[in-house]
Amino acid sequence: MSKILTIGEILVEIVATNRGNGFREAVPLIGPFPSGAPAIFIDQVGKLGQECAIISRVGDDDFGWVNINRLTEDGVDVSGIEVLAMGTTGSAFVRYREDGGRNFVFNIRNSACGEIELSDKTLALIDTCTHMHVMGTALYAPSVVTSILTAVERIKAAGGTVSFDPNLRPEILDSPGMREALQTVLSKTDLFMPSGEELFLFAEAKTEKEAVAELLAKGIKAIVVKRGDKGASYFDKDTQVDLSSYKVEEIDPTGAGDCFGATFVTFWLKGMHPAEVLRYANASGARAVTKAGPMEGASTRAELDALIQAQGNA
């Protein structure tokens, strides 16, 4: 029986209800919504009934407890979340622009999860897990990087597996220690899940086919290239699967890639055929955008089955 672990930021998201540029004026807001890429990922894993856990830190405040309560309700082991009596839970204020882009105001580095150090308790939790999922967004501070690499090493040493969703922008790759951390994670990765052009941040090749071949030759077992509303593709040494997306009305795209990744990892670990796994992941990403709030569109398997049956095999 597998148990999936992730480590990283937990925060709340507060969203402006009208479109515009940033927050230099008073605007109406909705929230707080539970958020943070690792938290969204692991919440979706839990909703699918898969055993899972997260290691992070929150403040002993309403923003922290809205996250802990949601994760607990959805079946996530929250024993690795440290609650700081004098800490403040991270936050992200989000406003959509007229062009569809987004402006953010983050408080992560100076929040409770700005540092995540492992204890005897969380090391013991790591040793109960068989799979580690690394989010590139979580490589934001030296202590968090150290904790993630420790978990990767321990789980791999015990015969477990690692998945890696880079979720990165090219301009942050020059942060101190970032490239080294990324390459270390990649060298331990079994399942690599880049979005579009991220594939080329980790390969010298200039075409997708050549980049996939280059990365598979390094020992990665499988690669999933996410293409948003254009679907996704799966590659291993013997197989390629390309599936288009499901058509839905988009309300809020935040968290869709995290839900896609969580669903793919969950069913991939069950040994299902890659085409079936990709179909479920596409359905999960599609359902995620139909709700306002990053975790609000997380799906049960029954909800995914209903979407697949309604629209047929994408």
Cα–Cα distance, 104 to 79 (Å, whole number): 30
Cα–Cα distance, 29 to 26 (Å, whole number): 9
Strands 90-96, 102-107: pairing is antiparallel
Q: Taking 90 as the threshold, does the pLDDT of residue 180 lie above it?
A: no
Which of the four pLDDT bands, split at 50, 70 and 90, describes residue 75? very high
Which of the four pLDDT bands, split at 50, 70 and 90, describes residue 90? very high
- Where are any strands of DSSP class E within the chain? 4-7, 11-16, 29-35, 52-59, 77-84, 90-96, 102-107, 131-135, 161-165, 191-192, 222-226, 232-235, 240-243
Contact 296, 258 (CB under 8 A): no
Rounded mean pLDDT of 296-310? Answer: 95
Please, how many CA atoms are within 13 Å of residue 90, restricted to the half-sphere of its CB? 27
Domain that holds residue 280: 4-311
Q: To which residue do tokens 């996410």 refer? A: 226
What is the domain count for the chain?
A: 1
CATH code for position 257: 3.40.1190.20
Which of the four pLDDT bands, split at 50, 70 and 90, describes residue 37? very high
Average pLDDT, the chain: 93
Rounded mean pLDDT of 43-58? Answer: 98
